[in-house]
Each structure stands twice: as C-alpha cells, then as structure tokens.
Amino acid sequence: MDSPLRIALVAGEASGDILGSGLIRQLKQLHPQAEFVGVGGPLMKAEGLHSLFDMDRLSVMGLWEPLKRLPELLSMRRSLIRRFRELPVDLFVGIDSPDFNLGIAAALKPYGIATAHYVSPSVWAWRQGRVKGIRRNLDLMLTLLPFEAEFYRQYEVPVEFVGHPLASQITASINPQAQRCQLGLGDTPMLLLLPGSRGSEVKHLMPLFERTSEELRRYIPNFQVRVAAANAQREKQINELLDDSSQTRVVCGQTRELIAASDAVLAASGTTTLEVMLSGRPMVIAYKADALSYAIISRMLRVPWVGLPNLIAGKSLVPELIQQDARIESLCDALRRCFEDEAWVHSLQQQFGLLSDQLRQPSDQLAAAALNRLLQQRG
C-alpha cells in the first residue's frame, strides 16, 4: 500500500498560523488522507498539524533576541530537517520567517523533497542578491502582493500571486463620521497618527507627528487627534512623549477601528499603510531613523517608494516624506490636501478600491491549488 502524502509546514508567528491553517484546510480537500507535520500554532494544530515544537519558540523579534537564542534556533532547525528527511515528507512549505525557513528548504531540496515558501521576504526592496539562493532552493514562491510576483518572474523563480488575506478582512470605510459615533468619538473630523510598532520608530516619529498636528490647527482648527498604539508598551511610551497640555489622545488595541473612523492618516511606513489603503482613507506616509541606520538602509534600498500603496500601484499614489523630507511644514501641507481637496481624495479612494479588488483573492484556495500542481509535476 502506498504511503500517505506527507506535507511539512513551519510557521513562526500568529500571522503565519492563520495562513497555515487555511492552507491545510484546502489541502485536506484535495488530499483527504494527507498527513501534516512541522511547527504551527493553535489554528494549524486544530486543522490536524502534528507540531514538533511550540510555535512560540520561533517567535523572536528584533536584533538581539535572535542572536541570544541562535544556538536553540539552529538546534530546532537541524532537528526539523532530520525529521523531514527521515519520514520523508513529500513537500515542505515555509510560511514567512524566511531566515529560518529558507535554510530548511535549502537542506531538503537535494533530497528530492519539493520546496515552497509562502509570503515573500522583502528581497525586492534590498539585498536582491538573495534571489539567487531562492531560485536555487525553492520550487515555488507564493506571494501576497502582485509586484512581488513580477519581481520573481524577472529572475525566473517559479511564483504564484495568491492575494493578501487582509483584503478579505477589511472593507473601505465609506462614512468615517458614523464610525466615530460607534466609537464614542463624536462627529468632529479626526486625524489619526500611526507612529509605528517599534520603540525606535515611535521615538523618532511621535514628536514630529504631534508637532505636525499642532501646526495643522493653524489652517484647520476644528479636528480631533488620536494615536493608535500598537500595544501597551507603545501606549506608555507615546503618553510619556506627549505634553500634559496636548489635545492628542492615545488609544490601544483599536487600530483598525480608528483607521475606519479617520478623515486623514499620518502613518509610519509599514504594513499598517496597507490597512489604511484597504479602508479607503487618505494618508501621508512618513519615516525617520537615526542618521547611521538611514545611511545603511538607503544604500541597500532598490525600490523607488517605501509605502505599500505606492509599491502596489507602481506609481506615487500617496505622499511619502522620508528622513530629511519629513519636516513639519511639508507634512502639514500634505495633510491639508487630505482634509481640503475633495476631488483628490475621491480619486485616491477610487484607485484604492481598484488595488483592493486586485488583492482580494481566495488566497487559501489559490495557494493550495498551486502547491497541488507542484506535487503533480513532481509525480
């Protein structure tokens, strides 16, 4: 009797657990007898994954934590590679966590195991030399964004664009005033500040964002300001940076709701700008880092924009003010357009809608179908 199909999946954080669970659910429909093994969280385990390690052991962030835990992480990776070879598995799917998962793919590929990666690393933005290793070690890349797929095709990497799951979760906010009333914020127009999720981002951007909102009152006196804090730690940090006399209020744990309730958003470059775009809210993107970090990053950067809406559109759709360009006066001028230029806002929202439709795909089904084709090709 033939052995059952064995598929290995490794996710390192909660977002990967969501993607992995949907993928397993769809693969089970195509292969009811398949076995799933690897690393995942509660959602993947609920779909039948036999998790060899606790996913939390892979959830490391920042620069120093991975370095401190490097021996443990390397030991886990060696153990997974050994187990996947011994079974053996027919297919390995790394879900995000590229520093960990691409190494597993490289070790399994010579043994005839099909290899895929779900969620592209930002190889299109910097360190593009990494694409050579990806082409050598992967049979398939699954991307969430269309421009990522176009990048890989240029380098002859087998790739499928499957859409972004956020696009199916977020719909455009047509009436921010109604959203504010639901949150108990009244009907006064609102500017939302999104200074980032990292302490260093908040340190550099929050004072600038606050002074920009104060300058904006010279031109638009009647509006309220809210800051969406990514977590309790950032909430404490932001409150410490604000003066006692500040009219800005900090809210934790309601970022998506606040975006929907806003009339304009001033945001740090990052994934949150995608949520703002999907919500249909006009925005200005800003970023500022210390001089040394910016000097290093700017030399490595290989794309003309940093904001996801502009990258997806392939053009300058929303203002980006980076480093020395991120000044109070220039940020204020850009935000005034969000409040005052109705024609521009309407045009922007129409283009956001088209981009959102492009991202709104049945991601789980498309990813599973692409992996199934890979398995069929491998016989």
CATH topology of domain 6-163+361-378: Rossmann fold (3.40.50)
Q: Euclidean distance between the first and final Cα of the chain, in Å?
A: 17
Q: Do domains 6-163+361-378 and 169-359 have the same CATH topology?
A: yes
E strands in 35-153 = 35-40, 50-54, 91-95, 114-118, 140-143
User: Contact at 8 Å (CB) between 261 and 190?
Assistant: yes
Calpha distance 254→271 (Å, rounded): 16
**Averaged pLDDT for residues 234-251:** 92
Question: Lowest-confidence range among 91-95, 195-199, 252-256, 337-341?
Answer: 195-199
Average pLDDT, the chain: 90
Query: CA 31 to CA 39: how far, in whole Å?
Result: 20
Sign, CA torsion 233/204/124/103: negative
pLDDT digits (tens, 9 = 90+) for 90-117: 999 999 989 899 999 999 999 999 999 9
Find, among 51, 59, 81, 70, the residue nearest to 15 by Cα: 59
User: Could you say which DSSP state residue 111 is in?
Assistant: G
CA-based R_g, the chain, Å = 22
pLDDT tens by residue, 20-70: 999 999 999 999 999 999 999 999 999 999 999 999 888 655 445 566 778
Stronger pLDDT, 62 or 211, i.e. the higher one? 211
Asked if the model's pLDDT at residue 3 lies above 90, the reply is no
Q: With 80 as the cut, is the pLDDT of residue 310 above it?
A: yes
pLDDT at 321 over 60: yes
Highest CATH level, class, for 169-359: alpha beta
Domain residue extents for the chain: 6-163+361-378, 169-359
The C-alpha atoms of residue 364 and residue 97 are separated, in whole angstroms, by 19
Mean per-residue pLDDT for 219-241? Answer: 93
pLDDT(243) > 70 = yes
3-state secondary structure of 195: coil
Looking at residue 4, its pLDDT comes to 87
The C-alpha atoms of residue 18 and residue 288 are separated, in whole angstroms, by 32
Rounded (5°) CA angle 202-203-206: 55
Edge to edge, what strands does the sheet with 114-118 contain? Answer: 50-54, 35-40, 6-11, 91-95, 114-118, 140-143, 159-161
Question: Mapping DSSP to helix (H, G, I), strand (E, B) and coil, where does residue 218 land?
Answer: coil
Band of pLDDT at residue 204, cut at 50, 70 and 90: confident
Local structure of residue 242 (DSSP, 8 states): S
296 has a pLDDT exceeding 60: no
Under 8 Å CB-to-CB from 273, ≥6 apart: which residues? 267, 283, 285, 307, 308, 309, 318
Q: Which H/E stretch holds residue 169?
A: helix 166-169
Task: Quickly tell me which residue has 């914020």 as its tokens.
Answer: 185
Query: In this structure, what DSSP letter does residue 304 have?
Result: S
pLDDT reported for residue 295: 54
Element (H, E) at 268: strand 264-268
Q: State residue 38 phi and psi, 5-degree precision.
A: 150, -130
Nearest to 281 by CA among 302, 301, 265: 265
Around Cβ 44, how many Cβ atoms within 10 Å? 29
Q: Which residue from 334, 316, 317 is spatially nearest to 325, judged by alpha carbons? A: 334
Structure confidence by residue, pLDDT tens digits, 124-180:
766 777 899 999 999 999 999 999 999 999 999 999 999 998 999 898 877 898 899
Rounded Cα distance, 337 and 318, in Å: 11
Cα separation, 200 vs 76, whole angstroms: 30
CA distance 265 to 239: 19
**Any idea which of 223-227, 273-277, 287-291, 343-347 has the lowest mean pLDDT?**
287-291
Tokens representing 1? 């009797």
| CA atoms of 73 and 87, how far apart (whole Å) | 21
**Contact in structure between 209 and 193 (CB atoms under 8 Å):** yes
CB distance 142 to 26 below 8 Å? no
